[in-house]
Amino acid sequence: MVDEWMKISEIQSGKYTGKEVEVRGWIYRTRSSGKIVFVILRDSSGIIQIPVGKNDVGEPQFKGAKKALVESSVIARGVVREDSRAPGGFEITANYFEVVHFAEKFPITKDQSDEFLLDNRHLWLRSRELNSTFKIRSTVFKGFHDFFSERGFYEIQSPSFVTGACEGGSTLFEVKYTDEKTVYLTQSWQLYAEAMMFSLEKIYTIAPSFRAEKSRTRRHVTEFWHAEVEAAWFHNEDMMKLVEELIVYLCELILEKHLPELEVLNRDPEKLKVVTTPFERVKYRKVLDILRDKGIELEWGDDFGYVEEKALTLERDQPFFITHFPLSKGFYHRPDPEEPDSLLCHDLLAPEGYGEIVGGGERIWEPEVLMKRFEEENLDAENYSWYLDLRKYGSVPHSGFGLGLERALSWFIGSDHIKNVIPFPRTMRRTSP
């Protein structure tokens, strides 16, 4: 019978009190005392207590309820009662309790190591923490789509097999494509986006990017979901305005839809409430001074790693932009005509120690400047011939950015590790389950 059954959260809204309902889910906890089994059932929406009494459901179903272990799947019917002692404030007194499948002893119990939980990720996905995390993840993905489609951006896709680096050769994954040919997995859609931009002007995508990251930190995975944007006629500052608006939009969306999930995750909603535009913009040069004051000595040209970004953001409660990085940041960024040793680009750093979540900027659009940068960076212009072509046929100023969705999510929910926000995390050491 696939008639109507309710989500547990609907029942907890109170509108079914005194009525008979059906729920379907999995046993979250169970204990029995004499003639009653107290089952806590979970579904995707929440948990609810179901007392199963021998006299209410009859001997065979009662026996089933008594025997059923945690994670057994169940269809139950009964009348909803308000009960302030029950989790969620309601319970369903069962008059029907069918165990659809009797689960074996569930391998995950309390207090297990991170490694054990990762080995059993296929089962741990059912936890309340991951359930709440993935609901927020879903909202963030949809929020990104909505934000850009409402602003006239088209969604468009780029290939995952590529022949050249966008973000430096050291993190490229090689793929044996044919016996003769090796290609790489994409690090970013950007170079392709710049081509598509000439047709659609304002574009975005959400797609996996791949980086063979040797660094084992709480913010690196080898496969992450990359939300990227490219727009014609946009300068660096125009793009930064869009980025900060997006971040506030996502924070507000999470607050509007996910207070219960934030509670499960122990995340103080205030941390998202305080986020307001405009975000501070600080030049790289100045950041070197700030770091020096904190006892970290870096030279012009050095990149910021996890340690530096943690020091820069730990005491902040607002994200902020770093702009005007040195030329070594990347070959495609446009040098600032007013400060030729610095680039018109931006990183957005999330507060509370999280660090970089966005990398973006204005692209070089004059062919001569691009040729010069290829030379300075020792890049073979041959490998980028089609990219150079784009600068020959009606080149225009343009900018874009890439947001690491797992990085942003980690901060939004206050997670201590990026692997907590992706269903099956991939690192250099882990490719299964």
Among 46, 351, 360, 397, binds ligand 4AD (CB under 6 A): 360
* Residue type at position 412: F
Q: 175 vs 207, which CB is nearer to ligand 4AD?
A: 207
With CB cut-offs between 5 and 8 Å by kind, which of ligand 4AD, Mg ion, none does residue 91 bind?
Answer: none
Among 356, 373, 412, 421, binds ligand 4AD (CB under 6 A): 356
Strands (E), 177-296: 182-185, 202-210, 223-232, 280-283
- The verdict on 226 binding ligand 4AD (CB under 6 A) reads yes
156 near 196, Cβ under 8 Å?
A: yes
Residues numbered 137 to 196 that lie near ligand 4AD (CB under 6 A) are: 166-167, 187-188, 190
Cα-Cα-Cα-Cα torsion 386, 390, 392, 398, nearest 10 degrees, comes to: -150
* Beta strand 20-33 pairing with 36-43: antiparallel
Q: How far is CA 150 from CA 145, 180, 230, 234, 341, in A?
A: 8, 45, 15, 17, 37
Strands (E), 186-286: 202-210, 223-232, 280-283
171 DSSP assignment: G
Among 40, 68, 221, 247, binds ligand 4AD (CB under 6 A): 221
- Separation between Cα atoms, residue 314 and residue 165, nearest integer Å: 32
- The verdict on 406 binding ligand 4AD (CB under 6 A) reads yes
Beta-carbon count within 10 A of 317 CB: 11
Binding segment for ligand 4AD (CB under 6 A), chosen from 52-60, 61-69, 148-156, 403-411, is 403-411
Q: How far is the CB of 62 from ligand 4AD (least distance, A)?
A: 50
Beta-carbon count within 10 A of 197 CB: 25
With CB cut-offs between 5 and 8 Å by kind, which of ligand 4AD, Mg ion, none does residue 158 bind?
Answer: none
- Total binding residues for ligand 4AD by CB under 6 A? 23
- The verdict on 359 binding Mg ion (CB under 5 A) reads yes
Q: How far is the CB of 323 from Mg ion (least distance, A)?
A: 13
Among 329, 346, 407, 419, binds ligand 4AD (CB under 6 A): 407
- The verdict on 238 binding ligand 4AD (CB under 6 A) reads no
- Separation between Cα atoms, residue 392 and residue 218, nearest integer Å: 42
Among 325, 384, 401, 411, binds ligand 4AD (CB under 6 A): 401
387 near 191, Cβ under 8 Å?
A: yes
Residues numbered 14 to 43 that lie near ligand 4AD (CB under 6 A) are: none
Among 42, 135, 137, 211, binds ligand 4AD (CB under 6 A): 211
Q: 187 vs 342, which CB is nearer to ligand 4AD?
A: 187
Q: 360 vs 397, which CB is nearer to ligand 4AD?
A: 360
Binding segment for Mg ion (CB under 5 A), chosen from 28-36, 175-183, 352-360, 386-394, is 352-360
Reported as half-sphere exposure (CB side, CA atoms, 13 A), residue 404 has a value of: 27
Q: 6 vs 193, which CB is nearer to ligand 4AD?
A: 193
* Residue type at position 137: R
Q: 155 vs 263, which CB is nearer to ligand 4AD?
A: 155
Q: How far is CA 341 from CA 120, 239, 317, in A?
A: 50, 21, 31
- Total binding residues for Mg ion by CB under 5 A? 1
101 near 73, Cβ under 8 Å?
A: yes
Which x/- pattern, by CB under 6 A, does the window 185-204 give for ligand 4AD? --xx-x--------------
- Separation between Cα atoms, residue 135 and residue 259, nearest integer Å: 11
Residues numbered 74 to 133 that lie near ligand 4AD (CB under 6 A) are: none
Torsion sign, CA atoms 56, 61, 62, 65: negative
Q: How far is the CB of 251 from Mg ion (least distance, A)?
A: 21
Structure tokens at 368: 């001569």
Structure tokens at 245: 């608006």
- The verdict on 402 binding ligand 4AD (CB under 6 A) reads yes
429 near 400, Cβ under 8 Å?
A: no
Identify the CA nearest to 379 among candidates 394, 364, 393, 361.
Answer: 364
Chain positions contacting Mg ion, by CB under 5 A? 359
Chain positions contacting ligand 4AD, by CB under 6 A? 166-167, 187-188, 190, 211, 213, 220-221, 224, 226, 228, 356-360, 400-402, 404, 406-407
